[in-house]
Structure 1
Amino acid sequence: MKALWNALGPVWAWPVVIALASAIGLVTALLGDGPWDWVSWLCLGSVTGACVWLGWGRGR
Protein backbone atom coordinates (compact mmCIF):
# COMPACT_ATOMS: atom_id res chain seq x y z
CA MET A 1 0.00 0.00 0.00
CA LYS A 2 2.84 2.38 0.82
CA ALA A 3 4.50 1.69 -2.54
CA LEU A 4 1.22 2.52 -4.27
CA TRP A 5 0.94 5.81 -2.36
CA ASN A 6 4.55 6.68 -3.19
CA ALA A 7 3.84 6.06 -6.87
CA LEU A 8 0.43 7.76 -7.16
CA GLY A 9 0.26 10.14 -4.20
CA PRO A 10 2.36 13.00 -5.60
CA VAL A 11 0.44 12.90 -8.88
CA TRP A 12 -3.14 12.46 -7.66
CA ALA A 13 -3.27 14.09 -4.24
CA TRP A 14 -4.18 17.64 -5.32
CA PRO A 15 -6.56 16.61 -8.13
CA VAL A 16 -8.49 14.49 -5.62
CA VAL A 17 -8.64 17.39 -3.14
CA ILE A 18 -9.90 19.74 -5.86
CA ALA A 19 -12.48 17.19 -7.02
CA LEU A 20 -13.78 16.67 -3.48
CA ALA A 21 -13.99 20.42 -2.84
CA SER A 22 -15.91 20.86 -6.10
CA ALA A 23 -18.31 18.03 -5.31
CA ILE A 24 -18.94 19.24 -1.75
CA GLY A 25 -19.45 22.81 -2.98
CA LEU A 26 -21.91 21.80 -5.69
CA VAL A 27 -23.94 19.47 -3.47
CA THR A 28 -24.20 21.99 -0.63
CA ALA A 29 -25.17 24.73 -3.08
CA LEU A 30 -27.99 22.60 -4.47
CA LEU A 31 -29.32 21.01 -1.29
CA GLY A 32 -28.53 23.41 1.53
CA ASP A 33 -29.53 26.87 2.59
CA GLY A 34 -28.29 29.36 5.17
CA PRO A 35 -24.91 28.23 6.55
CA TRP A 36 -24.58 25.70 3.75
CA ASP A 37 -24.35 28.61 1.32
CA TRP A 38 -21.15 29.66 3.07
CA VAL A 39 -19.75 26.14 2.78
CA SER A 40 -20.50 26.08 -0.94
CA TRP A 41 -18.94 29.52 -1.48
CA LEU A 42 -15.85 28.49 0.45
CA CYS A 43 -15.40 25.21 -1.43
CA LEU A 44 -16.09 26.57 -4.90
CA GLY A 45 -14.13 29.74 -4.24
CA SER A 46 -11.09 27.78 -3.14
CA VAL A 47 -11.23 25.70 -6.31
CA THR A 48 -11.52 28.84 -8.43
CA GLY A 49 -8.70 30.49 -6.52
CA ALA A 50 -6.44 27.47 -6.98
CA CYS A 51 -7.12 27.40 -10.72
CA VAL A 52 -6.41 31.11 -11.10
CA TRP A 53 -3.27 30.90 -8.97
CA LEU A 54 -1.92 27.92 -10.90
CA GLY A 55 -2.93 29.44 -14.24
CA TRP A 56 -1.02 32.65 -13.59
CA GLY A 57 1.97 30.71 -12.28
CA ARG A 58 2.21 28.61 -15.45
CA GLY A 59 2.33 31.61 -17.75
CA ARG A 60 5.51 33.05 -16.25
Structure 2
Amino acid sequence: MRRSVSKADGPNLARHYRSVWDVFRAPLLVGLVCAVGLGLALVGDGIWDGLSWLALSLPVGLAAFYWHRAGRRR
Protein backbone atom coordinates (compact mmCIF):
# COMPACT_ATOMS: atom_id res chain seq x y z
CA MET A 1 0.00 0.00 0.00
CA ARG A 2 1.36 3.41 -0.98
CA ARG A 3 1.37 6.23 1.49
CA SER A 4 0.85 9.72 0.12
CA VAL A 5 3.58 12.21 0.89
CA SER A 6 2.65 15.67 2.06
CA LYS A 7 4.70 18.78 2.78
CA ALA A 8 4.13 18.20 6.48
CA ASP A 9 6.24 15.03 6.27
CA GLY A 10 9.36 17.13 5.66
CA PRO A 11 11.51 18.07 2.73
CA ASN A 12 13.41 14.78 2.64
CA LEU A 13 10.32 12.71 1.99
CA ALA A 14 8.94 14.86 -0.82
CA ARG A 15 9.42 13.13 -4.15
CA HIS A 16 10.12 14.89 -7.39
CA TYR A 17 9.54 12.68 -10.40
CA ARG A 18 11.51 13.36 -13.59
CA SER A 19 11.05 11.90 -17.00
CA VAL A 20 13.79 9.95 -18.73
CA TRP A 21 14.38 12.92 -21.03
CA ASP A 22 14.85 15.25 -18.03
CA VAL A 23 17.45 12.92 -16.53
CA PHE A 24 19.48 12.13 -19.64
CA ARG A 25 19.18 15.36 -21.66
CA ALA A 26 22.45 16.98 -20.48
CA PRO A 27 24.61 13.80 -20.57
CA LEU A 28 23.36 12.99 -24.07
CA LEU A 29 24.15 16.53 -25.23
CA VAL A 30 27.68 16.35 -23.78
CA GLY A 31 28.19 12.94 -25.41
CA LEU A 32 26.96 14.25 -28.76
CA VAL A 33 29.32 17.25 -28.59
CA CYS A 34 32.22 14.91 -27.76
CA ALA A 35 31.34 12.60 -30.65
CA VAL A 36 31.26 15.60 -33.00
CA GLY A 37 34.63 16.68 -31.59
CA LEU A 38 36.12 13.27 -32.31
CA GLY A 39 34.72 13.39 -35.82
CA LEU A 40 36.13 16.87 -36.40
CA ALA A 41 39.55 15.67 -35.27
CA LEU A 42 39.47 13.08 -38.05
CA VAL A 43 38.29 15.45 -40.77
CA GLY A 44 41.30 17.65 -41.24
CA ASP A 45 43.72 20.22 -39.95
CA GLY A 46 43.59 23.90 -39.15
CA ILE A 47 40.21 25.14 -37.97
CA TRP A 48 38.95 21.57 -37.57
CA ASP A 49 41.62 20.85 -34.95
CA GLY A 50 40.62 23.95 -33.00
CA LEU A 51 36.95 23.01 -33.10
CA SER A 52 37.72 19.46 -31.99
CA TRP A 53 39.79 20.74 -29.04
CA LEU A 54 36.94 23.04 -28.08
CA ALA A 55 34.36 20.25 -28.27
CA LEU A 56 36.52 17.72 -26.42
CA SER A 57 37.32 20.19 -23.65
CA LEU A 58 33.63 20.50 -22.73
CA PRO A 59 33.55 17.58 -20.23
CA VAL A 60 36.77 18.79 -18.60
CA GLY A 61 35.37 22.31 -18.28
CA LEU A 62 32.08 21.07 -16.88
CA ALA A 63 33.85 18.86 -14.32
CA ALA A 64 36.04 21.77 -13.19
CA PHE A 65 33.04 24.09 -12.97
CA TYR A 66 30.93 21.73 -10.85
CA TRP A 67 33.91 20.70 -8.71
CA HIS A 68 34.62 24.36 -7.93
CA ARG A 69 30.93 25.03 -7.30
CA ALA A 70 30.66 22.07 -4.90
CA GLY A 71 33.71 23.29 -2.99
CA ARG A 72 32.15 26.71 -2.39
CA ARG A 73 29.01 25.24 -0.79
CA ARG A 74 30.89 23.77 2.17
**Partner of residue 48 from structure 1, selected from 57, 60, 65:** 60
In 1, Cα distance between the equivalents of 2:67 and 2:38?
22
TM-score (norm 1): 0.70
Structure 2 unaligned spans of 5+: 1-17
Q: Which gives a bigger RCO, structure 1 or 2 (Cα 8 Å, sep 6+)?
A: 1
1:56 Cα shift? 3.0
| Structural RMSD (CA) | 1.8
Structure 1 unaligned spans of 5+: 1-5
1:31 Cα shift? 2.6
Structure 1, residues 1-47: CA drift from partner, whole Å, max 9, x if none? xxxxx611220010001101111111211232111112101111222
Q: Identity rate of aligned residues, in percent?
A: 36
Pair member with larger Rg: 2
1:22 corresponds to: 34
TM-score (norm 2): 0.60
